[in-house]
Amino acid sequence: MNLTRLGRVEKQLLKETSFILKGELKDPRIGFVTLTHAQLSSDLKRAKIFVSIMGTRLEQQKTLNALEHASGFIRSKIAERIRLRHIPDLVFIKDDTSQKVERVLQILSEIESKEKKQNDN
């Protein structure tokens, strides 16, 4: 498949999924979610939707479970909005990138403060 087309479909899929989560999905288990990116298989039969979820580990797991439970509903709404021969199966995956970045920044800050203490002595 043309990589340009694949990228456009991924962007559109992410956009429509976001609109559905914001306006049409009324599940109280779903907390504060940000869709970070989508990754489609080359045959367009499976889509991984990466999500960043705020909250405790338990809240994050509840949100992820609720998204998986609602994937059929979301998929049917996407079918109404996007013209594709086959609407991909949706798999929601927790994106820990922001937490990893936060940890790296924390480590760098600790190293900087240790070096400053050594230079002051």
Partners of residue 35 on adjacent β-strands: 51
The burial class, CB within 10 Å (0-12 / 13-18 / 19+), for 19 is: middle
Q: pLDDT at residue 84 above 60?
A: yes
Q: pLDDT at residue 1 above 70?
A: no
Residue 121's pLDDT is what? 65
Which pLDDT band, with edges at 50, 70 and 90, does 48 fall under? very high
- Listed by start position, the domains of the chain span 3-96
Average pLDDT over residues 66-83: 93
Nearest to residue 31, comparing CAs of 48, 52, 9, 2? 52
108 membership: H or E segment, kind and range: helix 97-120
Gap between the Cα atoms of 61 and 71, Å rounded? 15
Residue 96's pLDDT is what? 81
Residue 47's pLDDT is what? 94
Q: How large a percentage of the chain has pLDDT more than 70?
A: 98
Query: Three-state DSSP class for 9?
Result: helix
CATH topology of domain 3-96: GMP Synthetase; Chain A, domain 3 (3.30.300)
Summary count for the chain: helices (H), strands (E): 4, 3
Whether the predicted model's global pTM rises above the 0.85 cut: no
89-94 and 46-53 strand pairing: parallel
Average pLDDT value over all residues in the chain? 88
Crossing angle of helices 71-81 and 3-23, in 10° steps, is: 120
Query: Which pLDDT tens digit goes with each residue over 6-42?
Result: 888 899 999 999 999 998 888 888 888 999 999 999 8
Q: pLDDT at residue 105 above 60?
A: yes
